Structure 1
């Protein structure tokens, strides 16, 4: 289905969503559990911060648009939430009887385009009701706009085309993600027996990538004959765009199977394709590295992000000095299996790469990586 936005009309949030409800909770009010989402000022993962126990006194109903109204870096985003959840005071949930998981995704995507107008210093909550967005509109058979005399959604009587939005999302090429892995079959994990390793001793190379200016590249229109352009962005695995491969200096192309780190942002990702980079990018290589061990290690590296910023960059020396706690190889009697060459640690401990790989593979959706 094609999108022709020339006939779309404007709708205000307070008309489109006759019920707007503020989130009610802060993290101190939550109880431990795994049966409910805690949703707040987070632009990724559909806004889910953590899992928690259900609490009927602070729960919000699902089938709504969640507007993130506060929070540096995430204010201005909107998500569709299909299930009941607990919301932070940074969000507002919008409800409409016509909403479903298809047109909800469509509408949330449209409202996300409002985010450049808002920041931590200009919160969306103050302006949310009056926010206007253009949406597909119902038309009569003769091509004239359908007008609702009650003016329920628009002062001019325009009516959103809920059906078109639903059918458009359904027409996109996608299949629901499935997994054969069961939670009960997940590998056990016990971090109390992990050992500290200096990251620089675990890897074979840590170096600065040869930077390419974005202005010197053309964005590729298709995947064919293109290459990932990796920068310090926190989105899309660090890929800011796909560039036309023929524009690229071959000497600046990085081979696949690497970890990339943006030194001023401490954003860390695994790259399974060849790639090129922007400025301030660090590349890490190791003989144990693959997409499974990388995901295990990245969990620990990403915990370092809060220590770094533009004022204190995650430079190569700091990357090498990073301490990570990892599972280590053991003998049959449970004692540490030590390496006399002390390749990975001064004490001779050996990271259990095989266990890390198996653990990631055993997780739900680990078979789809």
Structure 2
């Protein structure tokens, strides 16, 4: 049974006073290492500033590596403010800060990290989260009667959270991908695009509600927080009530998220709505999101996603075929100048057939 949180009794604590050790990890250059996508014999985790996969960029061959960090530590990227708990031995890339303490375990770490990650927005747009800033960061935590952090409560609270293991009836995909017959489409052939405007974290905090506000970050599916919808309407903000995709214009430019309940977008994001409203389903959006994400690399090094540029991005999609197996051509050319017709039905059925596709 989950425990209740009464934040009224929480106290402020400086991170530098909570951790007994805080130091820069030895930096390894990924290009100099033998890398693997998954764990194999004699490999070790390579932790970098990535927001994905708990900070694990890849696994590398442990060929008498130096600077190996023991597990039970928190890793923080000092230029990205990405922070994760590392339970196993690891090495680091550049700009990584390691934090250790006697109270640290996976439960207390998860509790503290859930609060610390709320500070991340302060260090976007090139503001580095250097070690002195980390040390001086103040967060609120449950406290004991004598004013010390209540580590026992935090541990028990995380242990009390309820969850059920996710199961699936889909053990074998029923639809195979034959990309040889896929055809090219411009993003503008498939999507309507709407540019966001304004919306700050302060606005979200000062006008709380149930409507998702999306900006340019990758964390939390791009969601900045939940805001009052009427406030957004009154201020002329760009929103949709329908399921949609969003794409980050700057920051994590090119990052695409799926928003199943609609959202309002700030000036660092855009809404993508399928032109054919009858196919605005989670399955279609998730299928196309994967393809759009393959173009994200084009927007690194400060390149922004502009509307004109994004509308002429090309993605390959499955297309409808005739009974004879030839590519179907639409003389009205609704979806492309060449008359190709996206096979939305195949896309939907493919996602449904994947393991856990029955849980969407």
TM (norm. structure 1) is 0.69
Determine whether 1:255 maps to 2:255.
Answer: no
Equivalents in 2 of 1:53, 1:183: separation in Å? 31
Of residues 65, 82, 85, the one that matches 1:80 is 85
User: What SS does structure 2 have at the residue aligned with 1:170?
Assistant: helix
CA contact (8 A) 2:19 2:99 kept: no
CA contact (8 A) 1:344 1:351 kept: yes
Question: Structure 1's 113 and 260: CA in aligned 2 closer, same or farther, altered over 3 A?
Answer: closer
Determine whether 1:272 maps to 2:260.
Answer: yes
TM-superposed deviation, 1:322: 0.9
Aligned length: 340
Equivalents in 1 of 2:129, 2:186: separation in Å? 42
User: What SS does structure 2 have at the residue aligned with 1:12?
Assistant: helix
Question: Structure 1's 13 and 339: CA in aligned 2 closer, same or farther, altered over 3 A?
Answer: farther
Question: Structure 1's 27 and 357: CA in aligned 2 closer, same or farther, altered over 3 A?
Answer: farther
Equivalents in 2 of 1:171, 1:78: separation in Å? 23
User: What SS does structure 1 have at the residue aligned with 2:350?
Assistant: helix
Residues 292-331 of structure 1 correspond to what in structure 2 (within 5 A)?
292-308=283-299, 313-330=304-321
TM-superposed deviation, 1:339: 1.9
Of residues 159, 163, 183, the one that matches 1:170 is 159
Of residues 183, 186, 195, the one that matches 1:198 is 186
Which is higher, the Rg of structure 1 or of structure 2? Answer: 1
Calculate the aligned-residue CA RMSD, in Å.
4.4
Determine whether 1:243 maps to 2:232.
Answer: no
Q: Identify the residue that residue 99 of structure 1 maps to in structure 2.
A: 104
Q: List gaps (5 residues or longer) in structure 2.
A: none
Equivalents in 2 of 1:255, 1:132: separation in Å? 37
Question: Structure 1's 118 and 193: CA in aligned 2 closer, same or farther, altered over 3 A?
Answer: closer
Determine whether 1:68 maps to 2:77.
Answer: yes
Determine whether 1:40 maps to 2:48.
Answer: yes
TM-superposed deviation, 1:120: 6.0
CA contact (8 A) 1:258 1:270 kept: yes
Residues 284-363 of structure 1 correspond to what in structure 2 (within 5 A)?
284-287=273-276, 288-308=279-299, 313-330=304-321, 335-341=325-331, 342-363=333-354
Equivalents in 2 of 1:186, 1:38: separation in Å? 35
Equivalents in 1 of 2:215, 2:22: separation in Å? 41
Q: Identify the residue that residue 30 of structure 1 maps to in structure 2.
A: 34
Equivalents in 2 of 1:182, 1:109: separation in Å? 32
